[in-house]
Chain A
Amino acid sequence: MSINRLQRVLKRHSYLFALLLLVVALLINFSLQANLFALTTINRNLANSLPLMVLVVGQTVVIIGGGIDLSVGAIVTLGNAILATRIAADASPGDIGLAILLTCGAGLLAGVINGLCVAYLRLQPLVTTYATSFIFSGVALLILPRPGGDVTRDLRTLYLSTPGGIPFTLWMVLLIVVIWLLARGTRYAQFLFATGGKPDAAYFTGVPVNFVRFSTYLWSGLFGALAALALTVSTRTGSPHVGDSMTLQSVVAVILGGTRLSGGQGGVVGSLIGVVILGVISNIISFANVPSWWQTLVNALIIIGALVGPGLVRLARKAVAR
């Protein structure tokens, strides 16, 4: 009875396991790094993590809708290239606004291409978005062939500021959470979860399955562009491979956060926790003085342990039931 109830709660709040993991990881990190919860440390860590936190929003929506987007890293690179070439050191607010609009437009266009291919041409998402990632990286390379750019310092100052004693980046994270919680109550969200969970049943009950699938890639394109904005503002430069590593990281963070790859379940809050966990793990490794050659392995083992965790719990429960 109580186990059943626990299962129900876990199913409704898929991020609970991630939250538990986060608490443990934070405690370990705190024991190694006493100033972890100081404002400056939080600000620095969040400044590093925010681009990926923005990026996982789109990836989560796509995965809930039953797809996957392996082009998000390339979209970040594309956005980074546009922003780095468009925003100069002495850029006026008008220039900056235009550059941001252009970047969001490019991200949405990339999303339209992915969405058309996956939803209407019915191509397999994994290979298709891998293929389109070449197109986006290519365009990024056309715009910015060599690393460069000198994005205005003002934006970085704003990015690192602490309005009301709370880091600007934390405000942004809170904004994402609030938007997600509001969005979850809408009809669109119902359609999204239905499309990812049981597309056939959803179709027969009148859900515009193809349109919902299409729209998920618009979200990942838009949030890819916004992630590029966060990244470019904090690094102040552009680089042709800057987004490459973010694609698989975004997928790992989404899964760590309790969203299943099979779709129809999960949420953005878990994915955000997933990103924080990834950051805390790398923090722990650098503060625990792990020899540098061991870092990759330790990192991979911890992540695999975190991913295996829920599966082991399931296995144990099955064994007990027997």
Chain B
Amino acid sequence: MPIQGLQAENLHLWRGERHVLDGVAFTLPPGFCLHVAGANGSGKTTLLRAVCGLLYSESGRVLWNGRDVSEDLAGFHSGLIYIGHEPPLKSDLSALENLRYWLGVRRRLGPTLLEAALQRVGAGAFRDRPVRTLSAGQKRRVALAALSLALVPLWLLDEPTTNLDAAGQQLVGTLIEEQLARGGLVLAATHQELPVARERVRRLELAVE
């Protein structure tokens, strides 16, 4: 199925008294990255969670391939991966086991695929260590391995470059560019600059209320 893109129309979301998302709208065609920028507390995470359906917006809608995602939420979900600012890893399991259980729920993954993905992000050396013993940057790298394993058109990344060294940040850029080159879409919320070619990036600036 050809991917036509992601659209958000007039998203409004309240958190108690705070109007966090105030009519946010964007259009993202395939092969483009949306850089969601803004100060702390401007609602970057909220926007990402509202787009993928973890949060319900009070009004507005999200369209995937021209159709309202609430019509087929499971179908929409199987085409996206969301990585929050804490990588969803179990501290008592190894990096390899974590990926196996996390992504195995979506796809049948053999050990070779898992190992290749971990090698790719420079996590091969510590794949069998319990995640508890890994540094924040190493955990982030393990989470990045999930991106290439999920093989989905839409990536939603919350602060993908935090805790990473220079080479790691460059890796995030490379992974995103590869995703865009094969016609995927990326939503990345970060207040840093994204290490991605500018002509592929659209910018959405959120303001603090």
- Binding between chains A and B: no
Q: Which residues of B contact A (CB under 8 A)?
A: none
